[in-house]
Amino acid sequence: MLWTVLLALLVLVLLQTQLSVCLRELRSGSSSPHTSSSSPSSSSSSAPYNGTQQRLPGAIIIGVRKGGTRALLEMLSLHPDVEVAKAEVHYFNVEEHYRRGLSWYRSQMPFTLPSQLTVEKTPGYFCAPLVPARVWDMNPAVRLLLIVRDPAERVVSDYTQVLHNRLTRHKPYQPLEELLLQKGRINPKYKALQRSLYYQHLSRWLEVFPRDQIHVVDGDALIRDPFPELKKAERFLQLPPKINPSNFYYNTTKGFYCMLTAGHDKCLDDSKGRPHAPLSTQAFKKLCHYFRKPNKLFFEIVGRSFSWC
């Protein structure tokens, strides 16, 4: 009987000790830096370990939609001094997000060390009229990356993505040719077409930012051979050269380059390289002809030309 009482007392003491430990952990968790808010004007907020912080981006991939922004972001993340926001934040171009302030924007960023660069990408920024001034207000020294591809091919790719999304939700969608042409002529009001007028949108950015703060990446070249374009991006971002040709290999099944890092390979998801929606040769030629003058204006602005149709 005495042993039973002693055993019960021992169990009670152990339970009380464990309860005290749990209460201390809960109190400590409630005062964690995760729950504290920092001043919106600060560029970083505290993190709970390793001296890392969530920082406002030092570089932003601003576009273009269906130009290769995801590929560029994933390839830049191979660099050990780069941390990237995993999702498109749409802070500067969605009013609901912008009203939440810079502290909310910062909370969407990865934790980084002081020596690392935070990179965000939202392709919708490029065409949104209010975004350049808003980005400047956040950080006039931020570095901007713009990845472009053949604008005619980009229109078809843009349509293909919208079509896929509509079909996934079992919703009908007009054929591309019906949207693109009106009475046999290019329809200038088609939104996908307007997104490919690169010179118009870039001109708006250049009203706010100097040309040397915007680096133009050749999206078609990035797909053909990623390494040269990544080296240029490294230099623009003032990063030490850490990305190597060995970080890439051509995946014959997918038909594009995949990445290798620390013995692990990574390919873009199945939405990349998706077959384009059908468009007649005649309609595509009209599209190419329509873009000749806008393309020439874009080449003049960026001081280089591209091998587009």
Q: Which residues are known to be catalytic?
A: 66
Residue 266 marked as a ligand binder = no
Are 269 and 258 spatial neighbours (Cβ–Cβ below 8 Å)? no
How many CB atoms neighbour CB 42 within 10 A?
14
Rounded Cα gap, residues 97 and 267, in angstroms:
30
Following DSSP, what letter does each residue of 179-210 receive, concatenated? HHEETTEE-TT-HHHHHT-HHHHHHHHHTTS-
Residue 219 marked as a ligand binder = no
Rounded Cα gap, residues 62 and 42, in angstroms:
23
Residue 90 marked as a ligand binder = no
Residue 169 marked as a ligand binder = no
Rounded Cα gap, residues 294 and 290, in angstroms:
8
SS3 label, residue 34: helix
Residue 157 marked as a ligand binder = yes
Residue 293 marked as a ligand binder = no
Are 82 and 116 spatial neighbours (Cβ–Cβ below 8 Å)? yes
Following DSSP, what letter does each residue of 243-290 receive, concatenated? --GGGEEEETTTTEEEEEETTEEE---TTTTPPPPP--HHHHHHHHHH
Residue 198 marked as a ligand binder = no
Residue 69 marked as a ligand binder = yes
Residue 275 marked as a ligand binder = yes
Q: Which of 293, 90, 92 is nearest to 196 (CA)?
A: 293
The β-bridge relationship of strands 44-46 and 53-55 is antiparallel
* 249, β-bridge pairs: 258
Residue 271 marked as a ligand binder = no
Residue 189 marked as a ligand binder = no
Place of tokens 């002693």: 6
Residue 168 marked as a ligand binder = no
> Which amino acids are annotated as binding site, given as ranges?
66-70, 149, 157, 257, 272-276
> Which amino acids are annotated as binding site for 3'-phosphoadenylyl sulfate, given as ranges?
66-70, 149, 157, 257, 272-276
